[in-house]
Amino acid sequence: MDLIAGLDAIDRADGPLAYLLVFVFAAIPVVEVLVVIPFGVAVGLDPLLVGLAAATGNLSTVYLVVVASDWSLDFVRRRYGDPTGESDSKTIRRASRIWDRYGLPGVALAAPVTTGAHLAAVLGLAFGSSRRRVLGWMTGSLVLWSAVLAAASWYGMESLLRLVG
């Protein structure tokens, strides 16, 4: 299922199924909260429930990535090269610069707009942070981003509706 079809499925779903789909799509590393929350609010879902479903969905797979950190680190090394050394990947280089300047808090807080939450979690581990610290910072970051996105999406839709209506 491609992203457009998935978002269309959220739009067509009713009740709890819509929020379950928000959870599922937020759990997909490429989609994440930056796409799902504004879309869910735009199609008329409750912003608080959308934010909760998206944060929980995204965090569920971030936690899996951290728990399976040996496999996750091997995957990142195969795909991007050694994250702690020189990498050809623009994403890894950007995360490395953020890490050098701000450490784990910076990587976690910038994750949704720079690397994605899943890769940021693996990079935090690769750069030497403990699983516990990575999970703590990623949880805080995704809860914060979800709350801000839900509020901004709701406010934006309300403002748009006032302009149009």
Q: Kind and range of the H or E element at 123? A: helix 117-126
Which pTM was predicted? 0.87
Each residue's pLDDT, cut to its tens digit, for the chain (165 residues) gives: 576 777 788 889 989 999 999 999 999 988 889 999 999 999 999 999 999 999 999 999 999 999 998 888 888 888 877 777 777 788 888 888 999 999 999 999 999 999 999 999 999 999 999 999 999 999 999 999 999 999 999 999 888 778 886
- Residue type for position 66: V
CA 116, 117, 118, 119 torsion: positive or negative? positive
Query: What three-state secondary structure class fits 155?
Result: helix
